[in-house]
């Protein structure tokens, strides 16, 4: 199954004339091409399909989509054990911060 998944841009660089980003998908970080969204900035959310950012997305919509994908088990299909580990670590970190 193919998904377009929202992720947060955490870094941007130029590689051989192509604007590339490091995008965080809830703890799983991947390299993504920004050719279709050249004005994306660090901290913004983008929708990614097969390694290409297709459009920008506001944070509220991105988080809602990620929660829905997680509930449906689709992120585990796409990212496997890394997603489950990131979710567990993220939950532990959030709980520590709340203390």
Domains present along the chain, CATH in parentheses: 5-98 (2.30.30.140)
Least confident of 20-24, 35-39, 41-45, 67-71: 67-71
Strand partners, 12: 21
pLDDT at 9 over 90: yes
* Contact by Cβ (8 Å): 18, 33: yes
Q: What is the pTM of this model?
A: 0.70
Comparison of pLDDT for 76 and 47, the residue scoring more: 47
63-90: pLDDT as tens digits: 888 888 778 776 665 555 544 454 555 5
């Amino acid at each position: 199954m193919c998904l377009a998944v929202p992720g947060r841009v955490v870094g941007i660089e130029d590689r051989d004339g192509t604007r590339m980003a490091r995008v965080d998908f809830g703890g799983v970080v991947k390299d993504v091409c920004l050719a279709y969204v050249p004005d994306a900035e660090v901290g913004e959310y983008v929708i990614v399909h097969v390694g290409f950012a297709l459009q920008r997305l506001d944070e509220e919509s991105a988080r809602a989509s990620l929660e829905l994908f997680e509930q449906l088990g689709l992120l585990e299909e796409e990212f496997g054990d890394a997603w489950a580990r990131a979710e567990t670590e993220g939950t532990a970190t959030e709980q520590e911060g709340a203390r």
